[in-house]
Structure 1
Amino acid sequence: MTVRGPNRRAVLAGGALAFTGAATAAPSPLGSPSWAGDGLHAAAAAKGLAYGTAVPITRFRQDPRWRELAARECGILVCENAMKFVAVAPNPATLDFAAADETLRFARGNGQRMRGHCLVWHEGLPPWALAALASGNPARAELTMRQWIEAVVRRYQGSIAVWDVLNEIVSPADGRPDGLRATPWLKAIGPGYVDLAFRIMKDADPGAAALWNENDCEHRADWIDERRTAILKTLEGLLRRGVPIDRFGIQAHLFTTLPFAEAGFRRFLREIAEMGLAIEITEFDVDDRAFPADIAARDRGVADLARRFLDTALDEAAVLNVVSWDLYDPDTWLNASPARKRPDGLPQRALPFDAGYRRKPLWRAMHEAFRDAPDHRAARARLRAKV
């Protein structure tokens, strides 16, 4: 659905957005659960977890095999790009919800929950919003944030289980004492943009969980230790100030060029849980650059790393969801990233299904990790009910 607003020239002259008052999508009834008894979500659900995937809209629309796979394996879905600022609001007079609505209809028809991704990020900004943030007018920047978040969150009120309110906001390497990443939002509004985003989202949909989503938390390196420290300090500050955050998201784009920090990562999860926050694994995949070209050897290495990571994560009762960043190897973002491409040029085998839609050793490692995880259903149910 495309929602159009009033005269664009008048809007820009006044410094406000045209899409306030965008139509609300009434939640449709949930259909019967579509997932198979031998699939990943079924194994996860037995331990109070949910498993799901990001939805690449082009593949979703064009390939019925992908849709069948998502229906069979998943209990929760998230739009890969269709709910990002640049996709929904390419100009300040228009909101384009077509792809997001299509994904939501599919999810609800299959009895699946939906995550919202993502409201405030330093990437994925349309040029007009970047101009507003660069205007030197903090009030205009705050209004841009407020009207964007309100428009999209209110539209999907009651249909989205959890929103990634903030995405990738920490970067100690940027040299700030507070550890925040130097983003257009920070420059335009100041560090208060972090608290503001959560408050706007919660005012727009109090029934949805509010999550901060972050990358590079899992491996052993001095710079990642600094990131984990900055994250914990920031979380403590948010809670001390009464900011309405419910969950912390760990992207878990695992890579093989650094060792997995099992002990440090376990402590990190426990410290977050002790703050009373739930945790989600939000963008799981495995970058296989350091593994050999041989497919069998690569698949064994990917499966082993995934299993060690998931065994550590799922020991923690505060972990609620595991979402992979797609299901199907040919779609992985790693092949399009110059920094993540394999030196030999071979396509990455980062996801649980191969190019023939066959279950891989990674799928089996994930299924076994869910099956063998401690049963934390009661604790997880309490955390879900807190929202």
Structure 2
Amino acid sequence: NECKFYSIQKSLDNFDPSECDASIKYAKEKGAIYRGHALFWPHYNPEWFKTYSTNVEDNKAVIIDYITKILDHYKDEESIAYWDVLNECVKDDSDGDHVNLRVGDNSADYYLGWDTYPEDIFTLAREHTNPNVKLCYNDYYNDGFNKTKTDAVYSFVKSLKQKDLVDCVGLQMHNSCEIAPNYDQLYEVISRYESIGVEVHLTEMDISMKKCKSYEDQRKFYNDAFKACFDHSNCKVYTLWGLYDAESWIGEKYE
């Protein structure tokens, strides 16, 4: 979370990427490449921003200024290989070509009306990043298990790819034994992105044991996911959400 909006800009006039700097420094010391996450997310933004203005243009200016600053700050940082430009922007009620975008959180629709924000922010990212950095869109329920959301995210990413704005898509995989794609479902998703020249990354991977009958069920999920990935040349990255279950994001569900 060190590289998110709410961590870096705790007030309008306080742009401080020191926590993100430290995170990148740690990764470099370990010889790891870095994934910047995330330039913009319609949830969990700074509290001050939620009540900053009721004017769309005012809020749009803040977002553009922040993203420009962060990208310029890291433009020459060679350890950053990827930026998640947008995170979780497609609403769960989207279906196929019918894509509903998130426009604010539950407390404030603080940029309601900025319908072109995905294209605008990706364009900004393309202009302010090193050409070697790949720009990604990251979302959940788009791994094939939930077909309607999967189709909607594909339509969304395809529209960005047609404008040469996106390079990769992150398939978030916070799953359980009840909610997880099988090999065939995930294989089909990755193949679709391969057909339009988009890299696939399996992101935020973990599997809750709460509904699993045994660790064998958990093992099968990871096996299916990795096999579907390794069976495609465009599946380049997978990231685990913690090295082991107890360190995952909802600890009590992973015991």
Structure 2 length as normaliser, TM-score? 0.88
Residues 244 and 259 (structure 1), Cα distance of their counterparts in 2 relative to 1, 3 Å cut: closer
Aligned-pair CA distance for 1:219: 5.0
Q: What residue number does 1:167 align with?
A: 87
Q: 1:128 to 1:88 in 2, by over 3 A?
A: same
Aligned residues: 248
One-letter identity of the residue aligned with 1:157: K
Greater C-alpha Rg: 1
Runs of 4+ aligned residues of structure 1 deviating over 3 Å after TM superposition are 174-178
Question: Percent identity of the aligned residues?
Answer: 19
Q: Closer, same or farther in 2 for the Cα pair 1:111/1:177, shift >3 Å?
A: closer
* Counterpart for residue 197 of structure 1: 121
Q: CA deviation at 1:158?
A: 2.7
Paired residue for 2:248, among 323, 327, 332?
332
Contact 2:96 2:152 in 1 (8 A): no
Helix, strand or coil at the partner of 1:320 = strand
1:125: how far off?
Answer: 0.2
Cα deviation digits, residues 270-307 of structure 1 (max 9, x gap): 11111111111121111121124xxxx3x332112111
Does residue 302 of the first structure (1) align with residue 218 of the second (2)? Answer: yes
SS in 2 for 1:119: strand
Distance in 2, Cα, partners of 1:259 & 1:248 = 18
- Mapping of 1:344-383 within 5 angstroms? 348-349=254-255
Contact kept, 8 Å, 2:168 with 2:201, in 1: the verdict is yes
Matches within 5 A, 1:70-89: 81-89=1-9
- Between 1 and 2, higher relative CO (CA 8 Å, sep ≥ 6) is seen in 1
> Which ranges in structure 2 are unaligned for 5 or more consecutive residues?
none
Equivalent residue number for residue 234 of structure 2? 318
Q: Which residue in the other structure is 1:229 paired with?
A: 151
Partner SS for 1:213: strand
Cα deviations by residue, 1:19-47 (Å, 9 ceiling, x for unpaired): xxxxxxxxxxxxxxxxxxxxxxxxxxxxx
SS at match of 2:238: strand
Cα 1:189–1:119 change in 2 (3 A) is farther
User: 8 Å contact 2:142–2:171 — kept in the other structure?
Assistant: yes
For the aligned residue pairs, the C-alpha RMSD in angstroms reads 2.2
Match of 1:60 in 2: none
Give the distance between the partners of 1:285 and 1:215, measured in 2 at CA: 13
2:33 paired residue among 110, 113, 124: 113
Alpha-carbon distance change, 271 to 319 in structure 1, aligned in 2, over 3 angstroms: same
| Alignment map for 1:23-42 (pairs within 5 Å) | none
- As a proportion of its length, which structure holds more helix? 1
Residue in structure 1 matched with residue 190 of structure 2 by the alignment: 269
Give the SS at the match of 2:236.
Answer: strand
Provide the rounded CA distance (Å) in 1 between the counterparts of 2:240 and 2:219: 14
Distance 1:128 1:178, change over 3 A: farther
Alpha-carbon displacement from aligned partner over 1:344-370 (angstroms, at most 9, x marks no partner) = xxxx14xxxxxxxxxxxxxxxxxxxxx
Mapped to 1, the partners of 2:128 and 2:10 lie a distance apart of 22
Query: For residue 257 of structure 1, what is the aligned residue in structure 2?
Result: 178
Is residue 104 from structure 1 mapped to residue 24 from structure 2 by the alignment? yes
One-letter amino acid of the counterpart of residue 230, structure 1: A
CA distance in 1, matches of 2:13, 2:110: 25
Alpha-carbon deviations, 1:222-265, whole Å to 9, x = none?
A: xx11011111211222233x141111111111221135243232
On the 8 A contact 1:118/1:163 being kept in 2, the answer is yes
In 2, are the aligned partners of 1:83 and 1:118 still within 8 Å (CA)?
A: yes
Alpha-carbon separation, structure 1, partners of 2:57 and 2:40: 17
Any idea what SS the aligned residue of 2:31 has? coil
Distance 2:247 2:62 in 1: 33
The alpha carbon displacement at 1:187 in A equals 4.7
Cα distance in 2, alignment partners of residues 289 and 190 from structure 1: 40
Task: Judge conservation of contact 2:126–2:165 (CA < 8 Å) in 1.
Answer: yes
Is the 8 Å Cα contact of residues 172 and 181 (structure 1) preserved in structure 2?
no
Give the whole-Å Cα distance in 2 for the aligned partners of 1:307 and 1:213: 22
C-alpha distance in 1 between matches for 2:113 and 2:127: 19
Letter of the 1:216 counterpart: Y
Instruction: Summarize the Cα distance change of 1:177–1:316 in structure 2 as closer, same or farther, 3 Å threshold.
Output: closer
